[in-house]
Structure 1
């Protein structure tokens, strides 16, 4: 459950008198450090629209403690009732009472309250469809087939070879045998020459492949900035002769064999044995000169992280990045949106200077259909015209992990390593190994000395707050008939008070529909025309006081009256301002 949460799961830890038992070994994931059990006389902060408040006729038992991470969503006096924080790619919601406790459990507004609470706690990630992680690593599968040791010779060499063969087998032999008056020997010499040529080609191929197993591993490493990393890998191995083979993957996590499409109708002769510290996969009756593959997902705790000292100043992201990982990295790219900086190599312990120009307005308008992946691929790797490289295939893993929420805008570093990221071995042991892995991490950006900070698109959670008609979720936006749809944009930052200088907004539609826009005024409790709040898609700090709520919420309504369904993309929002501790 710990690994599941860190890889994107949503965990609710409910409290009350038995909190220590129910939380158990997962208590350290909670945003609240519980130190006692107490009771409250009211639950005034728990409200739901069109529903009477909770009536307590007796003290209500809750667990009590102090916030150690994240933010409090609701509290009763100094007691946090609900708090949430991020753990890896997932989130943990702490609740101070037993969910079956009366009278809250049967309160008429309980369903409505929890509907709002979950959206507030987990945001748009509630709408994400989480397919199996093994379904989302097809770039690693495809790249695993591109084993450099199995590279086919150039076509030009084949053409030259067969041209020489045809010349010898045809006119040269003909003229030689005619000169010796032995033309009848052609019936013996030509087939013999063909047989020798075939044996030569086979021998050349066998010599190239060697006598041992050829292991090729492709990997994708997502550093979590706490020394841990989520690692996906595909290990393929090519066998020179038929027989039984055993692949052992060490470490905890999930490992499963990959069935090739052309073998989908066959009964696989595969046995997998999962143990606490390793997984063993046995392949029976493997044909000679064939390949088998195994996919792995692990959480590794001793990988390290990138140490960054970055801040925005005078239109530039400046500072240093230090490689505190165990990987020797090459062809690195630091990027945010359309801006990027390339670094040739970065050894473990080495640092690099960052000088990355940026324009907030340009960042917000960075095209939603621009290739997030190709932005992170160094220029010299994009220029191959005749063939796709492993890097060009594997970089698509970035698209698979950051499509919703425009994660491409967040400052990120991407690099390559030729070190194996998963410990995998094939028996028999006579094997040659080749590895390549894509390593990526978000880079933390600190406020400048005067507190100035810029939060790029993707920093803030954008959620569907409501609609007047049914909508179809398309991942990066919604499709709706004539009517309206409302988005809530949460501009709050954990543990920080943000004084907004500018809010940059970019809205878009796949079918270029022009939507009418309104912005909710939290002071008048009514919607205002978009142009009253934004000028050229920029809201200044003085207007933010009216249109950003006390808890940091910006609410925008979009509407159209066209006869058919139209698409509205999730708005791109970035913010410039100054921060100070709460």
Structure 2
């Protein structure tokens, strides 16, 4: 067929196709537009990019040999540290080239247990003029999760473009889980061989002595947590800066242990020391005669008996002093030789002699003396055995001492403001949709007399209501940056004026879009990631921390859409005002007043003592309130933690579930936070070989013993579970009572105005105040076990082990406890009661293999020291308790009670807790 004959057909086909295309465009335009809009809205907008020095984007740049270099980089204390702590990284830099501006950066990989591939980069700005030689120290947290291993960390010098100019490696070694790390401030640090040679129960662990001086002593308490014990002996304390002295004081108040040695050179050691760290008032010097024993009653001698060993071989110069606080555990006449005092959550031991000088240094009992001092200071860590003993019970787990509580990631996720739309709004939207598609559409078609508009109205209605539904869903998930914050303020003491406090903040950042985000914290603090499996998108992510003397700038790199990132910060701070108390116990009733001198009021406040509590409601700033708690227990009788008791009394769930229902009210948020701090969460259990441990938050405990950061432990092996607490996680160790309350109006004063990408973010801000309270006794009373300070002072045998804080196993041998309390020397004791938990054995793990059978505390032999006859009197438990009707002979003139438990049957292993002691008596 010729082409001109086909042309009419082609033209007709073209016109028909054009008509169809126009028709489709007319009918489809309205559909295409909302679809395109939906795609645009659904596509996440990229957040503003923030310039930073990301480890993931570091490019290596070759420089000339005469440029800036890192000549040396060291980490830790002679490369050693306790795993999970902040360590100092000291960097020496030289610049033989032109002036240089840049950053020193330390790369910190994530914990192997998290295994998410994330990296943290800690940076400080550096300025190196030509010819400069400079040394700087920055701090970074490291967790190897592998005791006794060595790793190399990268220290990079970056230019202003983020390129690597120079790199040095620094080795870092984790101490063994049972090692005791002792920092020594002494002008003669070579005479501590007797301390280094102390043998521990775990033969694979050692006492590591680390010499310190004014140059390498940290200026913050957080880095000092690497040490289990500090010794101050014949040291020029004036060489320490005010910041270093404050760090020492805060470290002790937060749980550290300090030994202060006097002797003939006591003045240059004591003169500039904070008065709160001295339990005595020095008066001069004197001389002890030869033959004087330096071992307190209850200490062991080399042959394993409980008899005090022979004394020193010659005269000994000592410092004289009068007792101001604490208990004199050894005296010579009226001169205290060894004094132990509680300072906040920690302890201080004063020695009137210098153990590094003869005749003590060469004395055969020197190592026994140091071992006795270790029991009094690091205490139960000396019983930490990382090897399984024949009980078959899992040894104590060396949890990290850093205050990261992964449960807070789930809590912050739960606190996000993502409430669903109101039911009435959804009903109105649905009704409007039906009305428009039905009556309204028909009315418009008839009114306009255009039937072809029916489908247009239908299509427009579908598109509009689809967009509305999409918008509601977007609002439900979140369209703006949210930042929830939970802050815990732990006061170090009672003061009307300024009070030292340790502040820990958990900051959750929820972002609706993908990109980089910069978090600005206006308070200088130690910050680190607290992300966990609750939040997606953490794999291979990088977080950059840049600190200064007044603020922290944190860059979250490559954050995925709708992701929660969690940061934890902590710092020491002096705050205005405080909490003071005038409480006393009489006739089994706690009563008195509490005064709030903080510049902000407290809400939902409680007073906690032992395993009991009383609500005191709200306390305004400057206000005093009455407290009364009747029927006070002599010792804890409940296995229910205080957080669960408070929640149950309010009708709330006794366990917080991070995947559960969102708290709807302020009270519910407070209860969720308390239960998270106490470890009462559904997902807070850590299991090893079938034995499960419930972890209380280490936020509430800032001590230094890495094996015992968590006070609650759940042993599972049967159909039931039991929790035992030496201290309830909400109470402050060493405090007679504890106050907790919420001070939300104080948020800006304590944390400042936090910004994200330069803008303030919305979210919940909660602040918990925790303060120690003092309690006295008057008239006739029962002295609650919470008022006693107890510690292990001696162990005989090698098969005694602390499986958790306050829970022990023993296969042969003995363990001796010392109990002290304020004013105990003035008390006339009528009845002394010792009690053991009756549920330990039936809830212990199932023992398999060749383990010896478990026995309960009723099988133990009990001896209590009689100070009048200087003998150990024998007793026994009956139904897990024993009572001594005439208690006075068992209270020393210095206010000490000694209790010894022994298991002479080596064919069985006793499982028991530290005896709970209560005393009925009156003030003399």
If the length of structure 1 is used for normalisation, what is the TM-score?
Answer: 0.81
Question: What are the equivalent positions in structure 2 for 1:356-435 lying under 5 Å apart?
Answer: 356-360=629-633, 363-367=634-638, 369-377=639-647, 379-380=649-650, 382=652, 387=662, 389-396=668-675, 397-398=677-678, 399-400=696-697, 401=700, 403=712, 405-407=726-728, 410-419=736-745, 420=747, 421-426=750-755, 427-432=757-762, 434-435=764-765
Distance in 2, matches of 1:68 and 1:10, equals 18
Greater Cα offset, 124-133 or 302-311: 124-133
Distance in 2, matches of 1:379 and 1:413, equals 18
Q: In structure 2, what is the equivalent of residue 6 of structure 1?
A: 253
Matched, 1:516 2:859: yes
- What SS does the corresponding residue of 1:395 show, helix, strand or coil? helix
Conserved 8 A contact 2:264-2:319: yes
Matched, 1:271 2:544: yes
Greater Cα offset, 166-175 or 507-516: 166-175
Residue 348 of structure 1, CA deviation:
1.2
Question: What are the equivalent positions in structure 2 for 1:161-560 lying under 5 Å apart?
Answer: 192=463, 195-197=466-468, 199-201=470-472, 204-205=475-476, 213-223=481-491, 224-226=493-495, 227-239=499-511, 244-251=516-523, 253-261=525-533, 262=535, 266-287=539-560, 289-337=562-610, 339-360=612-633, 363-367=634-638, 369-377=639-647, 379-380=649-650, 382=652, 387=662, 389-396=668-675, 397-398=677-678, 399-400=696-697, 401=700, 403=712, 405-407=726-728, 410-419=736-745, 420=747, 421-426=750-755, 427-432=757-762, 434-448=764-778, 450=779, 452=781, 454-457=783-786, 459-463=788-792, 465-466=794-795, 470-480=799-809, 483=812, 485-493=814-822, 496-508=825-837, 509-512=839-842, 513=856, 515-520=858-863, 522=866, 523=869, 525-530=871-876, 537-540=882-885, 542=886, 544-549=887-892, 551=894, 552-557=896-901, 559=903
Residue 415 of structure 1, CA deviation:
1.8
Greater Rg, structure 1 or structure 2?
2
Greater Cα offset, 31-40 or 302-311: 31-40
Q: Number of residues paired by the alignment? A: 567
CA deviations over 1:309-349 (Å, ceiling 9, x no partner): 22233442222222222332212222434543323321112
Distance in 2, matches of 1:499 and 1:391, equals 42
Taking a change above 3 Å as real, the CA distance of residues 333 and 373 of structure 1, as seen in their structure-2 partners, is: same
Conserved 8 A contact 1:491-1:554: no
CA deviations over 1:160-204 (Å, ceiling 9, x no partner): 699779979999999999996999889966974675245432564
- What SS does the corresponding residue of 1:44 show, helix, strand or coil? coil
Distance in 2, matches of 1:577 and 1:394, equals 39
Conserved 8 A contact 1:147-1:216: yes
CA deviations over 1:141-176 (Å, ceiling 9, x no partner): 43333335x223169689869977997999999999
Residue 234 of structure 1, CA deviation:
0.7
- What SS does the corresponding residue of 2:552 show, helix, strand or coil? strand
Conserved 8 A contact 1:410-1:457: yes
Conserved 8 A contact 1:240-1:288: yes
Taking a change above 3 Å as real, the CA distance of residues 293 and 156 of structure 1, as seen in their structure-2 partners, is: same
Residue 357 of structure 1, CA deviation:
0.9
Q: In structure 1, what is the equivalent of residue 279 of structure 2?
A: 31
Distance in 1, matches of 2:462 and 2:835, equals 71
Taking a change above 3 Å as real, the CA distance of residues 503 and 76 of structure 1, as seen in their structure-2 partners, is: closer
Distance in 2, matches of 1:260 and 1:158, equals 36
Unaligned runs of 5+ in 1: none
Greater Cα offset, 60-69 or 231-240: 60-69
Q: CA RMSD in A?
A: 4.3
Question: What are the equivalent positions in structure 2 for 1:96-135 lying under 5 Å apart?
Answer: 96-120=352-376, 123-124=379-380, 131-135=399-403
If the length of structure 2 is used for normalisation, what is the TM-score?
Answer: 0.53
Greater Cα offset, 485-494 or 168-177: 168-177
CA deviations over 1:348-398 (Å, ceiling 9, x no partner): 1222222221144xx42512x222322344833626995554323321324
Distance in 2, matches of 1:122 and 1:91, equals 9
Task: Identify which of 338, 342, 345 aligns with 1:86.
Answer: 342
- What SS does the corresponding residue of 1:276 show, helix, strand or coil? coil
